[in-house]
Amino acid sequence: MLVTALATPYREDRLDYPSYERSVALQAKYADALLAVGTTAEALLLTECEKKLLVKIAKAIAPRLPLFVGAESPCTAFAAKQAEQAATWGADGLLVAPPAFVKCTTEGFVRHVTTIAERSGLPVMLYNAPGRCGYVPEMRAWESLSNVAPFVKDAGSDLTFTARLANKTTVLCGNEILLTDALRHGAKGVVSVVSNVAPRLVKSVLDGTCDEKSLQLFESLANLSMSEVNPIAVKYMLFKKGIFADYAVRLPLTAATEQTKKRIDALAWEEIE
């Protein structure tokens, strides 16, 4: 299962609708589902109006694809309100991570997620993101949420955790540097950053149909995409690919460094799909 985590294009700090439409149209050819207003979309830096527009455009251009929408806040009440709004905008599911910074107890995590699911009426994709949240809730919390959360995006690096979780629910790899290993440990797909620029390539990795050269290219793109804080590098890749008209990000993020750009420039973008 290929779920593309869509990036958000800007021109002069405003949403760039033509670039976003090109991006979604490309994904409609290859992806099995989309994720809007997630980490790669710079969700915490978007206004409510911008989020609504991004969701509605994605649904209009790729109506056949299930659309997950991020509902991220350390405050359960606020996250639940975001989830309710996403449902009215046309979301088919939600991405929900453990509350960051304030953290929470195991019971708190379970109640956080179930409250969001009940308020929105939507299924949840849980998001294990220890690099951003700072912790991983106990396994029993993930297991007890399987009734409201049929998927887990696992962006950690503990493949033992991946394997244990895969015995209980459907795991989607969220750390593409470890994708092939995660698949061997039971993951059934990926929530992909790389597929923004190379959806056909990522699909071939999942299907096991790529040759060694293609696998090496995917691994290079995966490492490059995480060479700076996501989505800095992938937005420059989208610019090089001609999908985005610019590679701007919003503060406190900063644009790709010259070193990163040179590494990305060196790739044969006309051959990448």
List, by residue number, the catalytic residues: 127, 153
**CA-based torsion, 103, 106, 107, 111: positive or negative:** positive
Helix (H) / strand (E) containing 80: helix 76-89
Cβ neighbours, 10 Å, residue 17: 13
Counted residue by residue, the chain has a size of 273
Report the alpha-carbon distance of residue 35 to residue 41 in Å, rounded: 9
Report the alpha-carbon distance of residue 201 to residue 182 in Å, rounded: 17
Report the alpha-carbon distance of residue 20 to residue 77 in Å, rounded: 30
Cβ proximity of 127 and 96 under 8 Å: yes
Report the alpha-carbon distance of residue 147 to residue 63 in Å, rounded: 26
Report the alpha-carbon distance of residue 54 to residue 68 in Å, rounded: 12
Cβ proximity of 241 and 23 under 8 Å: no
